[in-house]
């Protein structure tokens, strides 16, 4: 089981977020690998996949995923093992403009 936090910049695009455009979303999702946990989140928020991953499954260039406080090492294949009660933060990387 992992705790997944979706930053407000993402949650505002999710119809299932129920009109709370400026709040983070926190969900508990089963899984022992990052890809399993992400799939679980995408099952709950179907349009989220295209915001986090491109059409080839790579984490988008300007999206950051942190696991227990450390940025994931492989954005092409986000499938690393997760510990019990891992905390996964999905957020926008900083950019200008």
The helix/strand count (H/E) of the chain reads as: 3, 5
- The reply on whether position 51 binds another protein by CB under 8 A is yes
Query: In angstroms, rounded to a whole number, what is the distance separating the alpha carbons of residues 35 and 49?
Result: 11
Q: Which range touches another protein (CB under 8 A), out of 22-30, 31-39, 43-51, 81-89?
A: 43-51
- The reply on whether position 62 binds another protein by CB under 8 A is yes
- φ and ψ at residue 48, rounded to 5 degrees: -65, -30
Structure tokens at 9: 């910049």
Tell me the closest approach of the beta carbon of residue 90 to another protein, in angstroms.
11
Nearer to another protein among residue 58 and residue 80 (C-beta): 58
Q: Which of residues 64-93 bind another protein (CB under 8 A)?
A: 92-93
Cross-strand bridge partners of residue 81: 33
Nearest alpha carbon to residue 11 among 37, 55, 41: 41
Rule CB under 8 A: which residues touch another protein? 9-10, 13, 15, 47, 50-52, 54-56, 60, 62-63, 92-93, 95, 97
């Amino acid at each position: 089981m992992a705790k997944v936090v979706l930053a407000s910049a993402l949650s505002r695009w999710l119809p299932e977020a129920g009109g709370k455009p400026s709040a983070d979303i926190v969900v508990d999702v089963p899984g022992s690998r990052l890809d399993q946990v992400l799939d679980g989140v995408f099952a709950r928020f179907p349009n989220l996949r295209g915001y986090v991953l491109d059409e080839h499954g790579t984490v988008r260039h300007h999206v950051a995923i942190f696991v227990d406080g450390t940025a994931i090492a492989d954005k092409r294949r986000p499938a690393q093992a997760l510990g019990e009660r891992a905390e996964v933060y999905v957020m926008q990387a900083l950019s200008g403009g």
